[in-house]
Structure 1
Amino acid sequence: MDDRIKKIAKTGYASKGMVYALTGILAFGAAFGLGSTSEGKLGVLKFLQDQPFGNVLLGVLGLGLLCYSFWRFYQSIKDPENIGTDKKDVGKRIGFFFSGLVYLGLGIYSIYQITASSGGSGANKTSMIPSEYLNYIFYAIAIGLAIKAVFQFVKAYKGEFLKKFYLDTISNVSTRKTIKWLGYGGMISRGIVVGIVSYFFFVAADTASKGNIKGTSEAFAFLRKNSEGPWLMGLVALGLVAFGLYMFIMAKYRRFDD
C-alpha cells in the first residue's frame, strides 16, 4: 500500500480520536457540573471554535476528519487489505462506506463553520423530506445504529480488532496491555451510547417528528436521568475517552496489510 495512503489513514485515526476524547471529556465535565455542557460530536466542534485560534483548530480537525473519510472510502472501494468479496466481507466494506459518509459530513461541517456567517441562524429549516416518509427513514437509521451497537459488542467479545496491531511483534508488555484494555473499554462504551441513540430514533419514528431526533448529547442526557445519575454518564464518558485514546494508538501502532 502506498505510504501516502497510510499517512492519510493515520491522520484520520488521530482526528477521530480527538473527536471521541473531547466528547468524553466534555460529557464527563457536564455530568459533574465541572464545565461545558457541549456534548456530542457537533458540541465538540463548537467547543473548539470557541477556543483561542478556534478556527485554526477546527480547520485542522476538519481536514483530519476528511482524511479519515477518504480512508474509509478507499477501504470500501479499493479493498487495499484484501478483506474479500464474501457476503460478510462485502457487508463490512459497506459499513466502511457509510462510516466514510458520516465523517465526510463532519469534516465538511467543520470547515463550513469557519466561513459560516454568524447571522445565518434565520435560514430556512423547512424539511426537504416529505413527512409521510420520515418514520421509515427514522426506523432505518435506528435499525442501522442498533446493528452498529451490536457489532461493537461483538468486536469487543471476539477481540479481532487486536489483529491490526500484530501484538506479538510489540516487545513492550505495558504497551500491549494498554492497547488491549483501551480498545475493550472504548468499544463497549461506544456500543452503549450508539444503542441509546438507536433507541431515540425508534422513538422519533413512532411520532414521525423531527423534533424528536436525538444524538449523542441526548444519549448522555438519557444516562443522567437514570437512577445512577451522573456516575453512569461519567463512566460512559470515560469509556469514550478510552476509545479516543485507542484511536490515537491506532494512529501510532496500527499495521496495514499490503
Structure 2
Amino acid sequence: MDKRVKQTARAGYISKGAVYAITGILAFGAAAGLGSQSKGKLGVLEFLQNQPFGNVILGVLALGLLCYAFWRFYQSIKDPENIGSDAKGKGKRVGFFFSGLVYLGLAGFSAFQIFRDTGGGQQSGGGGGASSMLPQEVVPYVFYAIAIGLAIKSVFQFVKAYKGDFLDKFYLESYSNIDTRKTIKWLGYAGLISRGVVVGIVSYFFFRAADGAGSEDVKGTAEAFSFLQESSGPWLMGLVALGLICYGAYMFIMAKYRKFKDASGR
C-alpha cells in the first residue's frame, strides 16, 4: 500500500480519536457535575472553536477528519487490504463508505463553522430540521432506515469486542512489551463496548421519532448521555464517558501501532 495512503489513514485516526476523547471528557465532566451539559460530535466542534486559536484547532481537525473520510472511501472502493467481494466483504465495504460520508460531513461542518465565524456566511433566519425537506409520509421510513442502520452498528461494536478480531490489525505477537499488548486490548474492549451503548441509545431515539413521524424526538450523542444520566444516574454515564475516552485513546493507538496489510496478504 502506498506510504501516503497510510499516513493519511493515521492522520485520520488521530482526528477521530480527538473527537471521541473530547466527547468523553465533556460527558464525564457533566456526570461529575463539572459542566452544564455533555456534548456530541457537533457540540465538540463548537466547543473547540470557542477555545483560544479555536479556528486553527478546528481547521487542523477538519483536515484530519477529511483524511479519515478519504481512508474509509479508499477502503470501500479500492479494497487495499483485500477484504473481498463476498457478502461479508461487501457488507464491510459498504459500511466503510457510509462511515466516510459521516466523517466527510463532520469535516464539512467544521469548515462551515470557520467560514461562518470569519464572516463568510450568514445564518438564515428560518428553516426547519432536515426532516422538513422530505415529504411527511417518507419521514418515518427514513428514520426507520437510520435507526436500523445504527442498531446494526451498535450490535457490530459488541460483536467486534466479543470476538476480539479488531486485535488482528495490530499483530500483537510482534510486540515484545506485554504492557503495550494489554493497553491495546483493554482500551479497545472498553471503547467498543461504550461506543456500542451510545450508538444503541441514539438508534432507540430514531425508532421513537419514526413512530411519531416527526423530528422532535431525534437525538444525538449528547442527548444519549443525558438519557443515561436521567435513567441510570451519573455513575453509568460516567463509565460510558470513560469508555469513549478509552475509544479515543484506542484511535491514537491505531494511528501509531496499526499494521496495514497489502492486498497480497503481506
The match for 2:123 is: 120
Of residues 236, 239, 261 in structure 2, which corresponds to 1:257?
A: 261
Where does residue 34 of structure 1 map in the other structure? 34
1:140-219 equivalences in 2 (<5 Å):
140-219=145-224
Q: Identify which range, 162-171 or 32-41, moves more after superposition.
A: 32-41
- The match for 1:44 is 44
Question: SS at 1:257's partner residue?
Answer: coil
Query: Aligned AA for 1:27?
Result: A
* Distance of 2:32 and 2:136 partners within structure 1: 39
Report the residue type matching 2:194 in the other structure: S
Q: Which amino acid aligns with 1:67?
A: C
Distance 1:158 1:65 in 2: 28
1:214-233 superposed matches below 5 A: 214-226=219-231, 228-233=232-237
Where does residue 236 of structure 1 map in the other structure?
Answer: 240
**Pairing 1:17-166 to 2, within 5 Å after superposition:** 17-116=17-116, 117=119, 120=123, 122-125=125-128, 127-166=132-171
Change (3 A) 1:17 1:61: same
Runs of 4+ in 1 over 6 A off after TM superposition: none
Q: Secondary structure at the match of 1:109?
A: helix
The CA distance in 2 between the partners of 1:47 and 1:36, in whole Å, is 13
Q: 1:113 to 1:61 in 2, by over 3 A?
A: same
Contact 2:26 2:39 in 1 (8 A): yes
Q: Is the contact between residue 55 and residue 114 of structure 1 (CA under 8 Å) also seen in structure 2?
A: yes
Using the size of structure 2 for normalisation, the TM-score is 0.94
The separation in 2 between residues aligned to 1:240 and 1:121, in whole angstroms, is 34
Deviation at 1:32, TM superposition (A): 1.8
CA distance in 1, matches of 2:9, 2:126: 36
Using the TM superposition, give the Cα deviation of residue 31 of structure 1 relative to its aligned residue in structure 2, in angstroms.
Answer: 1.3
Q: Aligned equivalents of 2:229 and 2:38: distance in 1?
A: 14
Deviation at 1:44, TM superposition (A): 0.4
Any idea what SS the aligned residue of 1:122 has?
coil
Residues 55, 114 of structure 2: 8 Å contact kept: yes
1:35 Cα deviation (Å)? Answer: 2.4
Q: Is the 8 A contact 1:12 1:71 kept in 2?
A: yes
Aligned residues: 257
Q: CA deviation at 1:208?
A: 1.0
* CA–CA distance in structure 2, aligned partners of residues 208 and 123 of structure 1: 21
1:189, 1:11 → 2: CA distance?
Answer: 23
| C-alpha displacement of 1:64 | 0.4
Pairwise CA RMSD: 1.2
Aligned-partner Cα distance in 1 for 2:140–2:41: 24
Measured in 2, the distance between the counterparts of 1:193 and 1:239 equals 10
Distance (Å, rounded) in 2 between the aligned partners of 1:113 and 1:37: 21
Contact 1:48-1:54 at 8 Å conserved across structures: yes
Give the corresponding residue for 1:245: 249
Distance 1:119 1:38, change over 3 A: farther
Q: Secondary structure at the match of 2:84?
A: coil
TM-score, L = length of structure 1: 0.97
State the distance in 2 between where 1:10 and 1:121 align.
37
